[in-house]
Amino acid sequence: LEKTLCEIQEESDQIKFTSETKLANADALVVGIGDKSLEVEEKLHAAEAKVAEVNRKSTELEIRLQEMEAHESILQRERLPLTTEYALCTLFLFSRGSAYP
């Protein structure tokens, strides 16, 4: 009976040791997953910040493009009368027989 009790105690000790080892491994995995989760979260925040910066710059560039297009339109409207005046002067000079436009 004492021998059986001793064997049961050894088996119980072995099971306890195995359980504690598996629990320690599981705890280590949980800590590792937590660390990875924080790392991923930091990378996500960094990526979101970069996307926000790209969106801000894109908006700035779009505004600058619209300003340039408006400026170009103004220049074209100002150029039209000058081109017309030059054409009329050239036509007038040619009609008078002048060789120089």
3 state DSSP class of 97: coil
**pTM of the predicted model, to two decimals?**
0.55
Residue partners of 90: CB distance under 8 A and separation at least 6: 101
Model confidence at 92: pLDDT above 60? yes
Residue range 16-34, pLDDT digits in tens = 999 999 999 999 999 999 9
Residue 77 has, within 13 A of its CA and on its CB side, a CA count of: 6
Q: What is the pLDDT of residues 29-68, one digit of tens each?
A: 999 999 999 999 999 999 999 999 999 999 999 999 999 9
CA diameter of the chain? 139
Q: What is the pLDDT of residue 10?
A: 95
Are the beta carbons of 90 and 101 closer than 8 angstroms?
yes
